[in-house]
Amino acid sequence: MISLRVLVPITVSLILVGCQEDEMLLEENQKLKTELTELETELQNKKAELEKMSSNLDDYAETNRKLEQELVEVDNQQENIPLFDVFNEKLFVASDTLSHENLTIAKVKELLGEPNEYDEKPAAHGSGKDITLTYDEATFHFRGENEQAGIRALVIKESFLTTSEGITIGSTQEKVRSTYGEYIYEEYSHDEYDNVISIGGKTGMAFRIIDDHVSEIFIWFSYE
């Protein structure tokens, strides 16, 4: 028969063990509640993000719809604009006539002498070299090999050159518009700094207007 002296310590030990287990269970339960709360908060955040993304998608769809509509309107406008053939444009200097066919490096040097700056580097596209001749009066961009390079573009900065229709540096904006009006792309005839009147597309001409007069004429025969 087990004495009371032996049973009491055993009973106390069992009670202590039971209390410790209860505390561990309570602690584990509290930990699970905390994790559950965090998961619920994260779920709410995800729902909010999803709602925001859905709203953004609606905004993007509306913006895209407007852009598509604007593009259709621009296309419709361009369909009504006659094609400007810059290759038929002639430039007159004194008694000479320049065109895409005869505007060579040698011809430029014959007219204006040696350039203030001469830049030559490998062509950005294709073979040959990109060659730039810079003068006070104009800048000429060629592509090819040395003297055989073909004209790509030029920027007229002084009134020594005149277009086929008599436009030169100093001509009024009104004269440009009355001369080339049917070819003007109004959609592209402006920029952040100055008024620019643009005609053509992949090839063409643009007139930079300052104080209602032409300050530069940009002519390009190729587009990149």
pLDDT band at 186; cut points 50, 70, 90: confident
Work out the pLDDT band at 55, boundaries 50, 70, 90: confident
Lowest model confidence (mean pLDDT) among 29-38, 88-97, 186-195: 186-195
Q: What is the pLDDT of residues 145-179, one digit of tens each?
A: 877 788 999 999 998 888 888 899 999 999 999 99
Model confidence at 184: pLDDT above 60: yes
What's the pLDDT score for residue 175?
94
pLDDT digits 0-9 by tens, 103-143: 899 999 988 999 999 999 988 777 788 999 999 999 999 99
CB burial of 183-221 (b: ≥16 within 10 Å; e: otherwise) equals bbbeebbeeeeeeebbbbeebbbbbbbeeebbebbbbbb
pLDDT at residue 2 tops 70: no
Q: What is the mean pLDDT of residues 74-93?
A: 65
Q: Can you give the pLDDT at residue 94?
A: 58
On whether the CB atoms of residues 130 and 141 are closer than 8 A, the answer is yes
One-letter amino acid of 140 = F
For the chain, the average pLDDT equals: 79
Phi-psi region of 66 (alpha: psi -120 to 50; beta: other; left: phi over 0): alpha
Given this model, what pLDDT does residue 168 score? 93
- pLDDT score of 136: 94
State mean pLDDT over 81-108.
77
Look at the pTM and tell me if it is higher than 0.75: no
> Distance (Å, rounded) from C-alpha 135 to C-alpha 116?
5
In this prediction, residue 3 carries a pLDDT of 57
CA–CA distance, 148 with 108 (Å, rounded to integer): 13
Q: Specify the residue for token string 């020594």.
A: 160
Q: Classify 155 as helix, strand or coil.
A: strand
Q: Are strands 91-93 and 150-156 parallel, antiparallel or unpaired?
A: unpaired
Q: What pLDDT was estimated at residue 223?
A: 65
Strands 117-122 and 213-220: unpaired
How confident is the model over 46-66, as a mean pLDDT? 74
Across the range 177-197, mean pLDDT stands at: 76
Instruction: Check if the beta carbon of residue 173 is closer than 8 Å to that of residue 194.
Output: no
